[in-house]
Amino acid sequence: MTRYIDVNDLCYLVSQKSLSTCITEMAEYIRADYLRWQDFEKCARLANHSLDGVIELMPVSDASLYAFKYVNGHPKNTLAGMLTVMAFGALGDVDTGKPVLLAEMTLTTAIRTAATSALVARYLARDNSRSMALIGNGSQSEFQALAFHAMLGINEIRLFDIDAKATAKLAANLKAFPAIKVILAGSVAEAVKGADIVTTVTADKAYATILTDDMIEPGMHLNAVGGDCPGKTELDRRIVERARVIVEYEPQSRIEGEIQHMPDNSPVTELWQVINGQQPGRENAHQVTLFDSVGFAIEDYSALRYVLDVAKALDVGSDLELVPDLADPKDLFARLAQQPRVQQKKRA
């Protein structure tokens, strides 16, 4: 049988642990897996692009588990009342190929993206960072706000989005966390001015300039989350040129990240090198640091591993006969003759 975790199961899991705990614990799973970077068979994600969006598969494996995620990105979906990003994923046993977990990954991806952002900021942001500008107040924004509050002690967050309703939604949701001071900014520049950390998480599939070079002050840490496919960026190129750039997996980031419009030899450092101490994160208090985040499959592997461990501990989810369970593994045909456990309702 395969453990199955749907949206309701994931919500129950988070309710039992608390979102802040899930973010913090998942970040440790991600850190642990980046520390064993060489154990993984890696590739850039496989993307099928359309006019208004993209559908991607994100595979990775080590000697024990194979993981993949199906995920889309369709910014116009909100106009039809649908999520911009939807996802599901699976874990398989490498020795046998048997699927051991099938899970929702829309909520899980939001948690793992925020957990990764805050984890990286521990290495790149100044130790005394307490304020963050959050540009783009859509579905990912609450998760980013809570991750930085829980993991870095950020207690002041300045909000801006060209969609005022999105900002109002975020501000209303953050009222449940009174330790966070929320400031509504009238522009990107107003939100960014004096901030220790700047997070951009916008959705448009376009070469955008959300941050201009004149907005960036010495010592800032930039967490660029929104740019995650070819033709989709958020930062003025001059910012990328002068920042210390950290990426997850360079071959993928060259295609999808802020560095897609930089020369192929522009300097970058991969995240695993920082986490294992091979390369420094922030080098001095005045340096501008940039996490050019596009999302990488190892983070999904870590997230699925975490969800499976917690689901087992809390007895969350259900068993699913995703592949046939046979008395004779050479007689697949016989499975069709067995009485179905659930019969489909006849269509009218």
Please give the positions annotated as active site: 228
How far, in Å, are 17, 133, 192, 208, 237 from residue 234 at the CA level?
34, 14, 14, 5, 9
Q: Which residues pair with 181 in a beta bridge?
A: 156
Residue pair 154/126 in contact (Cβ under 8 Å)? The answer is no
How distant is the alpha carbon of residue 262 from its chain centre? Answer: 23
Backbone φ and ψ of 208, nearest 5°: -105, 160
Coil/strand/helix, residue 53: coil
Coil/strand/helix, residue 58: strand
- The span from the CA of 225 to the CA of 291, in Å, is 8
How far, in Å, are 98, 110, 201, 203, 283 from residue 225 at the CA level?
34, 11, 5, 9, 22
- The span from the CA of 86 to the CA of 106, in Å, is 5
- Sheet with strand 269-270: strands edge to edge: 181-184, 156-160, 131-135, 197-200, 221-224, 289-292, 244-247, 269-270
- The span from the CA of 265 to the CA of 138, in Å, is 34
